[in-house]
Every structure is written in structure tokens, then in C-alpha cells.
């Protein structure tokens, strides 16, 4: 899938596994976006410039997309991966989406730098 997060409908069996495969492909893409953003460096991310502001906005966007995909994953899949911290991911998504003025840029940076790569690695390998 290109351009967005795969949709979600009910289902099981092969169709359910196919949806999970699409969601994991989306996660891989978002993980790559996070890797590229982090490769620009912490100083660039936190810069009090338009470019820094754009980087932080993109970082938040990546986290929102990852959390949206996570919400759509079936429960059986989440139960197979209890170490991911699904509730914490949902909490971060809610914070970014609903409390925009309370977002901790350092927390988002750490998620992009450490948590996202770890999660993608855990789920894809």
C-alpha cells in the first residue's frame, strides 16, 4: 500500500493474515521514515527553526501513523506480541492527537530513535 494506512474490516483466516501483512508493510514504511528523520540528528530535530518545526511535526505524524496501524491489528496478533506495550502506544497517540500543546518533543524523539526501530524489528522479524 502506498500513501496511507491500510483500512480495517472484520475477518479471519487468510483474509485476516493478508490484512496483517499489509499493516506490517505499513509499519516497515513508517519505521523507515523514522530512521531517515532520526538520521538527520537530534540537533536538527530540536532546532527552533522552520525546518526543526517541520521535523517535529513529521515525527509526530509518524508516531500517529504507527499507532493507527497498531489499533487496527487484530487482538490475536497483539496477544502474540505482549512486549510491544500496546496501551502506551495508544496513550502517546492520544496525547499527540488531542493535547497538541502538551507534546514532549524529547519523548517523541526518543520514541522515533529507540522505540520505533525496536518495535518494527520485533514485529517484522
In tens, the pLDDT along 51-100 reads 999 999 999 999 999 999 999 999 999 999 999 999 989 888 988 988 87
What per-residue confidence (pLDDT) applies to 106?
A: 95
Per DSSP, the chain holds a count of helices (H) and strands (E) of 7, 0
Taking CA atoms, 47 is separated from 13, 54, 63, 86, 104, in Å, by 48, 10, 19, 30, 14
What per-residue confidence (pLDDT) applies to 48?
A: 98
Say if residue 4's pLDDT is above 50.
no
Written in H, E and C, the secondary structure of 15-48 is HHHHHHHHHHHHHHHHHHHHHHHHHCCHHHHHCC
Query: pLDDT tens, 41-57?
Result: 999 999 999 999 999 99
More confident residue, 11 or 38: 38
**Is 31:120 a contact under the CB 8 Å cutoff?**
yes
What per-residue confidence (pLDDT) applies to 6?
A: 44
Cα–Cα dist 124/122, whole Å: 6
User: What is the overall mean pLDDT for the chain?
Assistant: 89
Cα–Cα dist 18/96, whole Å: 29
Residue identified by cell 489499533 is 71
Band of the pLDDT at 102, cuts 50, 70, 90?
confident
What per-residue confidence (pLDDT) applies to 75?
A: 94
Amino acid at each position: 500500500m502506498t500513501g496511507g494506512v491500510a483500512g480495517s474490516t472484520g475477518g479471519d483466516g487468510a483474509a485476516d493474515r493478508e490484512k496483517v501483512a499489509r499493516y506490517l508493510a505499513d509499519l516497515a514504511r513508517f519505521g523507515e521514515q523514522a530512521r531517515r528523520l532520526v538520521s538527520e540528528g537530534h540537533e536538527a530535530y530540536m532546532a527552533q527553526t522552520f525546518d526543526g518545526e517541520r521535523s517535529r511535526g513529521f515525527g509526530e505524524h509518524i508516531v500517529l501513523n504507527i499507532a493507527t496501524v497498531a489499533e487496527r491489528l487484530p487482538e490475536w496478533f497483539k496477544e502474540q506480541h505482549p512486549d510491544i506495550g500496546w496501551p502506551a502506544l495508544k496513550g502517546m497517540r492520544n496525547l499527540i492527537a488531542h493535547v497538541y500543546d502538551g507534546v514532549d518533543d524529547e519523548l517523541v524523539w526518543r520514541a522515533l530513535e529507540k522505540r520505533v526501530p525496536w518495535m518494527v524489528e520485533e514485529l517484522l522479524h
